[in-house]
């Protein structure tokens, strides 16, 4: 077997190993980026949910105050 053939096989094997490693690392990078994007979306959703819940609680408190006033007026009318 000629020496140049052995050298080509070794070079191709090393090139293949490097190529596989680069592809795997690129895939891991893309998965990590996608996961980070998803986590940020969930964080934003959670923050909006909390803000909406706080606004709802404020509205309910205002309604409770109004209802108490209406009840007092109705009791005075009776």
Residue 73 lies in a domain: yes
* Residue 78 located in a structural domain: yes
Q: How far apart are CA 40 and CA 34, in angstroms?
A: 10
Residue 15, in any domain of the structure? no
**Does the pLDDT value for residue 29 go beyond 80?**
yes
- Domain membership flag for residue 16: no
Residue 43 lies in a domain: yes
Look up the pTM and report it: 0.61
Task: Flag whether 55 is in a domain.
Answer: yes
What are 34-71's pLDDT values in tens digits?
999 999 999 999 999 999 999 999 999 999 999 999 99
**pLDDT for the residue numbered 2:** 78
Residues of the domain holding 64:
36-78
* Residue 22 domain-assigned (yes or no): no
14 CB-side CA count, 13 A: 6
Q: Is residue 50 part of a domain?
A: yes
- Domain count across the chain: 1
Of all residues in the chain, what percent carry a pLDDT higher than 90? 87
- The candidate with the shortest Cα–Cα distance to 62, out of 74, 54, 72, 73, is 54
For the chain, the average pLDDT equals 94
Question: What pLDDT score does 45 carry?
Answer: 98
Count of residues in the chain: 78
């Amino acid at each position: 077997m000629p020496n140049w053939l052995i050298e080509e096989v070794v070079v191709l094997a090393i090139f293949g190993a490097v190529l596989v490693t680069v592809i795997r690392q690129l895939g891991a990078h893309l998965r990590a980026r996608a996961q980070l994007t998803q986590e940020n979306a969930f964080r934003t959703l959670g923050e909006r949910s909390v803000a909406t819940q706080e606004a709802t609680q404020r509205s309910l408190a205002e309604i409770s105050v109004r209802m108490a006033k209406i009840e007092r007026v109705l009791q005075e009318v009776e």
